[in-house]
Amino acid sequence: MKLTSGFPPNRRHALTAIFIGSFVLTLAVSSSAQTPRPEIFVPYLDTTLHPIVIDGSSSDWPAESLAHGVNFYPGDANPGSSTQYGTTVLGTMSGRADGEVTIYLTHDGNSLYLLAVIYDDLLEQRTSENNANEAWKEDALHIYIDSTNAQRANIPDPPIGNQPGYEQFGVSTDYNCYTENCDFTTLKTARGVAMSGARPDQEHWLASIQITGTGPYTYIFEERIPLQEVAGHNLRTMTPGQSYGFNAEFVDSDAGVYLQGWMFWSGNGRLDVWNYESMWGRMTLEETPPIPSDTGNWDLYR
């Protein structure tokens, strides 16, 4: 989502402004470092033994990859605040029926796999517009990654063009990516923002979406995202055993209201944190197991 601009500095006294600015910056960095934030563990999966097909189904996700999911919805027990980041709802989302999200992550050392299960009372697609409308003005999922751990606040628009490592893997239920800050799409500006008609490139960023029900609905988003930097893209290499900034957002449009409400997994309860890496949660990639030197004992590592 797009929102917010910072307060203009007081320029009446240059020295005072410099002092105050330095103090505020120090305070912001300190706050960012100290404020508890939600975390998600990303287990390692050997996909040569347990392949995951990106088809919008959870049937090939083994139990160990589904053991560390996170769940959030309006009114849950983890609300975001200035003292602890958590579920942040903006606009109008009347309750759990308006959007409940469960996120699972796993990795194989080369790719990050995502499975999102979303429950929503009303499905809002604008298929007749052929992805010419903004993707965030219909039901959509945004996955945010800070692959450089910049933890930057209030990144100028567009974040993907102003902050290395920033990616917003945003796609609607009908594969629309228009205006999303993701350069893994079929059409994008020179700065990486998805253009009208853009969809996931289905090469480096694979995405499949399945919708079931007649109201309420279930949306299943299944995606594969590279862990290694891809030439010409803003994402940077992410190493197993390390942690990185991560956030998830569900945007909800209902009955012709574009946009009705939107909800982040991690935020301070009041700001639209799409460009506030400083308030995102963390994902920790499990280390990849060592390659055994004795192939006869390979089973010990499986």
Predicted confidence (pLDDT) per residue in 161-174, tens digit: 999 999 999 999 99
* Contact between residue 119 and residue 228 where contact means Cβ atoms under 8 Å apart: no
Place of tokens 């960095």: 29
* Contact between residue 82 and residue 268 where contact means Cβ atoms under 8 Å apart: yes
| H helices, E strands: number in the chain | 2, 12
pLDDT of residue 166: 98
- Domain 38-289 belongs in CATH node 2.60.40.1190: yes
131: exposed, middle or buried (Cβ count in 10 Å: 0-12, 13-18, 19+): buried
* Contact between residue 248 and residue 241 where contact means Cβ atoms under 8 Å apart: no
Which element (helix H / strand E) includes 21? helix 14-34
**Model pTM score:** 0.86
Distances (CA, A) of 160 to 78, 187, 191, 195, 220: 29, 15, 7, 14, 26
pLDDT of residue 296: 53
pLDDT of residue 11: 27
Kindly report the CA angle at 294 between 284 and 237, in degrees rounded to 5?
Answer: 25
For residue range 62-96, list pLDDT tens digits in order. 999 999 999 999 999 999 999 999 999 999 998 99
Distance CA 225, CA 103 (A): 15
Q: Which residues of the chain have pLDDT under 50?
A: 2-32, 298, 301
pLDDT of residue 3: 38
